[in-house]
Amino acid sequence: MKQSNQIPSGTRMALNPTRRSFCGAMAAGTIGAAMSPVRAFGQTVSGVTVGGGLVKPTPQQLAWQDLELGLFIHFDMMTFTGAMKPRIPDDVNRYNPTKLNTDQWMEVAKSMGAKYAVFVAKHCTAFLSWQSNAYPYGVKQTAWRGGKGDVVRDFIASCKKYDIKPGLYASAGYPEWWGSDTPGANNPALVPWGKKTVKDWNKACGIILTELWTNYGELTEIWFDGGVVPVAQGGPDLVPLMKKHQPKAIVFGSPVPGGIRWGGNEIGTVPYPCWSTIKNFGDNIGGDGDGRLWTPAECDSTLPGHDWFWGGGDPSAKPNEESQQKMLAELMSKYYQSVGHNANLLLNATPDTTGLIPEAILPHYANFGKEIRRRFGTAVAETKGDGDTVELVLKKPAPIDHVIIMEDLAQGERIRGYEVEGLVPGNTWQKLCEGVCVGHKRIQQFKRTEVAKVRIRTTKAIAPPKIRRLAVFNVV
């Protein structure tokens, strides 16, 4: 059952081209810590071909890549109206999430195994989900909780309670409250409070982001979507605000060192190989192994067949076993092609008009987390090590069908080619799988094979390989 059958499919997909344009809007600034110096090698170590250069992540990027799985939460006025364009002031009276409970959101995150969460504090409707003074269109103007409610405050408190790293999404473009769905454009006829200009928007945008970045503590991730008018064209100058108020936050779409990049689609996958480095700001998709900018990928996705905001359906109707199994298979496919391809996965949830994530979709998140733990919670055996060959000896011969490889990314993304082999009966080495990119995590499945030992042989690298984890599994 689709929980959002009243909102046309692809509602948010239309924003993708302008998401990429955000990079050009901020390229003149600097966000976060400076990138580590590039070190050249160009030599042969232990028979491994070494060349090119080595780029390292910032400590914040390194910690963020370890999070792997996050929960995205879309909830604002569009949940109640099904429309991106606001009908001011009439629609403020429709915002009334009588059962809103952000603890429930974090319980869903925990059930999935998410280590971070990103809440959409302001989407393209321009509705403000906190006590804001930027302009009069938000929870402050509603009858909900007497106009004193603050969803951002509740979200942050629940993140702390459940030990989930918090992130906030705040679109700095698409000022619908100004009567425009194009950054920099202006249609005064749609604005109920008189003519507004880009200058007015810049001022309001500064207030919005200052409030979000100063009133709720340290954020792990800052998420932009929808594009920003470049400063050179009269847009808001956001980089100084980030440097001042959230210098440690990872910025989605950041055009300067210290950020992360979009994976290139909204289906939760990246191609293979997917490198942590890129050559130019604005690059998406698979990155570039020869890139000089450490900018790992994040995949965002709805539940298969769902949309970004709740838009109807029975929130209490639980899916049958067949639909749950189909959903689980699709989610695991996303997991293999995101986390298993050296990217983070940010999976969406859609609270309904009550403010709760509907019962109908709760099993999907719980089943997803349970299956990840079932498959990869306990390894048959694992080890770590340095050098072009790292060997894992099993306590006794056993069947395996999956391997997880992780590099020590604190030392850079070094591997450019590898083979995984198993010592099979007859005391011979048999190739199980191979690849080019490892990065934070590479998950590979192969035909179930009984082995006594497993080894990874690096065939090409830009520096001596450092394997953080080599683990094998038997997933039945």
**Could you tell me which of 136, 234, 134, 223 has the C-alpha nearest to residue 183?**
234
Check: CB of residue 23 under 8 Å from CB of residue 284: no
pLDDT of residue 54: 87
Contacts (Cβ under 8 Å, ≥6 apart) of 17: none
Rounded Cα distance, 198 and 180, in Å: 11
More confident residue, 375 or 231: 375
- Please state at what angle helix 362-376 crosses helix 102-112, rounded to 10 degrees: 30
CA 470, chain centre distance (Å): 25
* In the chain, % of residues over pLDDT 90: 66
Mean pLDDT of the chain: 84
Cβ–Cβ contacts within 10 Å for residue 180, how many? 22
Mean pLDDT (whole number) for 106-130? 95
pTM: predicted TM-score of the whole model, two decimal places: 0.88
Q: What is the pLDDT of residues 250-296, one digit of tens each?
A: 999 765 678 999 999 999 999 999 999 999 887 778 999 999 999 99
Last residue of a domain, one of 376, 404, 421: 376
Rounded Cα distance, 131 and 289, in Å: 44
Domain count along the chain: 2
Flag whether 241 is in a domain: yes
Say if residue 1's pLDDT is above 50. no
Question: Phi and psi at residue 282, in whole multiples of 5°?
Answer: 100, -15
Say if residue 463's pLDDT is above 50. yes
Mean pLDDT (whole number) for 446-455? 98
Same domain for 318 and 284:
yes
Flag whether 3 is in a domain: no
Last residue of a domain, one of 332, 350, 376: 376
Same domain for 425 and 370:
no
More confident residue, 397 or 319: 397
Q: What is the pLDDT of residues 330-362, one digit of tens each?
A: 999 999 999 999 999 999 999 999 999 999 999
* In the chain, % of residues over pLDDT 70: 80
Last residue of a domain, one of 338, 355, 376: 376
pLDDT of residue 371: 98
Q: Confidence band (pLDDT; 50, 70, 90) for 303?
A: very high
Mean pLDDT (whole number) for 156-162? 98
Domain span at residue 167?
Answer: 13-376
Same domain for 360 and 426:
no
Rounded Cα distance, 75 and 354, in Å: 11
pLDDT of residue 94: 92
CATH of the domain at 409: 2.60.120.260
pLDDT of residue 27: 39
Flag whether 6 is in a domain: no
**Could you tell me which of 85, 16, 8 has the C-alpha nearest to residue 300?**
16
Lowest mean pLDDT segment, chosen from 35-44, 187-196, 220-229: 35-44
pLDDT of residue 117: 98
pLDDT of residue 193: 46
Flag whether 8 is in a domain: no
Q: Which helix (H) or strand (E) holds 433?
A: strand 428-435
Flag whether 34 is in a domain: yes
Q: What is the pLDDT of residues 57-111, one digit of tens each?
A: 999 999 999 999 999 999 999 999 887 776 666 778 899 999 999 999 999 999 9
Same domain for 219 and 180:
yes
346-to-9, 169, 244, 445 alpha-carbon distances in Å: 19, 12, 27, 23
Tell me whether the omega of the peptide bond preceding residue 240 falls within 30 degrees of 0, making it cis.
no
Say if residue 44's pLDDT is above 60. no
Q: Confidence band (pLDDT; 50, 70, 90) for 34?
A: very low
CATH of the domain at 273: 3.20.20.80
Bridge partners (DSSP) of residue 297 are: 261, 343
Flag whether 135 is in a domain: yes
Residue type, 311: G
Burial string for 312-325 (b: 16+ CB within 10 Å, else e) reads ebebeeebeeeeee
Question: Phi and psi at residue 11, in whole multiples of 5°?
Answer: -50, -45
Flag whether 131 is in a domain: yes
Rounded Cα distance, 7 and 349, in Å: 15
Q: Confidence band (pLDDT; 50, 70, 90) for 192?
A: very low
